[in-house]
Amino acid sequence: MDSLLFLPEPLPQTTLFSPKLPRLHPASNSGSRNLPFLILTQRVLQDGSISKTRIVRNSHNSGGLIDSKTAISDVPLLTGLEVFEKLKAYREKIEGKQQYLAMYSSIFGGITTDAAAMVIPMDDHMVHRGHGVFDTAAIIDGHLYELDQHVDRFLRSAIMSKINPPFDRESIRRILIQTLSPSGCPQSGLYAIVIQSLSPYSSKGVKVITSSVPIKPPQFATTKSVNYLPNVLSKMESEEAGAFAGIWLDEDGFVAEGPNMNVAFVTKEKELIMPHFDKILTGCTAKRILTLAESLVKEGKIRGVRMKNVTVEEGKNADEMMLLGSGVLVYPVLQWDDQVIGDGKEGPIVQALLNLVVEDMKSGPPTVRLPVPY
């Protein structure tokens, strides 16, 4: 089964949607349906930090587990009810920065507000083949921000991934809105999840590094798929180096993007520049920034706005550098590798752009704000 996943971004509240892929039958890849497999997973918090490691084992033979710090013996055979009770107990113990408020699944054809029931079938290709796409949209003051723009990108990603959504565009849009209402805040399938962030937004400047993890080829980088292993490794690499994120360069050495955000600069000539979208993901927030920034041109705060090939030298010598995305909005970058950006302080243009985005989220035109019928 193929998967489509839609997640709202965790500002005050978030929505995640993702179509699912056709069910994979082990018999199609081997002579036996009793194909054992192990899945090693890590819970990644929204800020990219790693939480806990889990080993999921499914096997019809008595093969040994891989070496682990925890010895396991006499593994019990649980009933469905016992599994659900354990899921509820596990959820109650989690102390994270997010609350899972509601989820729609086309598998059970409805919405649940029980976090323990927000599960995805093991034979979904999204789970064990990475064949799925997702997108996120932010919710603020009871309004979905740029929902249509995110849905359009979501469906483009599905087409590029050869996933046929189970519903048409308007049905998906309606499901997303309906999934928000109870939150208080082969075959394919659709999952929609509403997440509330418990972390206050911070506009404090951060450090980034040049990522050594290979960037995805344009065919995959321009698709918002669930295959985020390179992104996760890049994020972990940066955290291990005491930085917030890694910056990817394309095959020609030009600045590309971060692991889950776009990047932009303010040059010494007071021009806002941003890498082209032809080899990277087209960021909805980044595109909106390009439009909103025109008001700063009219006010004389910047001289112009354009997209171009940005060299590393240009980026590191810029007056201001920023990360752009639904989760971070506009994040100032104060240091890239060993190079201090500008005067090493949060710049006025980054702050002005952040103010414009926040104001747009609160009182922008109907094309970017959709009221949620709570």
Q: Give the angle 238-242-246 at the CA atoms, nearest 5°.
A: 20
Cβ atoms of residues 7 and 18 within 8 Å: yes
Helix residue ranges, H only, 142-242: 147-160, 169-180, 218-221, 229-240
Query: In which residue are the tokens 């994270």 written?
Result: 96
109: left (phi over 0), alpha (psi -120 to 50) or beta: left
Torsion over CA of 84, 86, 87 and 89, rounded to 10 degrees?
130
SS3 of residue 313 by DSSP: helix
What distances in angstroms separate CA 93 from CA 70, 72, 86, 88, one per listed residue?
19, 21, 11, 9
CA pair distance 321, 336, nearest whole angstrom = 9
- Active-site residue, selected from the candidate residues 224, 235, 279, 316: 224
Q: In the annotation, is 279 catalytic? A: no
Is the C-alpha dihedral spanning 163, 168, 170, 176 positive or negative? negative
Cα(56)–Cα(65) distance, integer angstroms: 10
Q: Which residues contact 70 (CB under 8 A, 6 or more apart)?
A: none
**How far is it, in rounded angstroms, from Cα 214 to Cα 199?**
30
**Which runs of consecutive H residues, i.e. helices, occur in the chain?**
80-93, 125-128, 147-160, 169-180, 218-221, 229-240, 284-292, 294-298, 312-316, 348-363
Contact 10, 196 (CB under 8 A): yes
Which of helix, strand or coil describes residue 126?
helix
- Residues assigned a catalytic role: 224
